[in-house]
Amino acid sequence: LDPALVANPDRLALAASGAGPGDNRGALALFGLGSQGVAAGGRTLGDAALDVVSGVALAASDAKGDVTRNGLVAEHLAGLRDSLSGVDTQEELTNLARFEHASTAMTKFVSTIDSMLSSLIDQL
């Protein structure tokens, strides 16, 4: 606001042109603009303001949704990364036990073959 009007509100011209003090036709005309189709597309100033506020609210809602979606995507990608680079200790223990049993079986097999060959050589 103009500091001169703040200091002296009587300086605001609200009367019709050529009218005297106490005439409010200028103020009524000014306030009437709010209900007239003077904005783009013949809309009222109130409707135009509502469109602006609605647009800002929709943009904010979309941005919030984008943040939520991006967070979920980031969590999913982090999980995929961890599953590819991480070590499952349960799986590793299972594989270790399987290899240990295979090694024990191979040792018994070689020992049995050695024993059979020793017996065969002794009989010759």
**Do the domain assignments include residue 40?**
no
- Domain limits at 114? 89-124
Please state the rounded mean pLDDT for residues 49-68: 92
Residue 117 inside a domain? The answer is yes
Domain count for the chain: 1
- Whether residue 13 is contained in a domain is answered as no
Distance of alpha carbon 94 from alpha carbon 106, whole angstroms: 18
Residue 75 has pLDDT above 90, yes or no: yes
DSSP state of 14: -
Q: Is residue 9 part of a domain?
A: no
pLDDT value of residue 56: 94
pLDDT reported for residue 69: 94
Whether 95 is covered by a domain: the verdict is yes
pLDDT digits (tens, 9 = 90+) for 83-121: 777 777 888 899 999 999 999 999 999 999 999 998 888
User: Residue 101 domain-assigned?
Assistant: yes
Instruction: Say what the pLDDT of residue 84 is.
Output: 78
- Note whether residue 2 is domain-resident: no
For residue 96, what pLDDT is reported?
94
Domain membership of residue 109 (yes or no) is yes
Q: What is the pLDDT confidence band of residue 45, given thresholds at 50, 70 and 90?
A: confident
Enumerate helices (H) and strands (E) in the chain, giving the number of each.
4, 0
Average pLDDT score, the chain = 87
At 72, give phi and psi (nearest 5°).
-65, -40
Q: Which two tokens stand for residue 109?
A: 């097999």
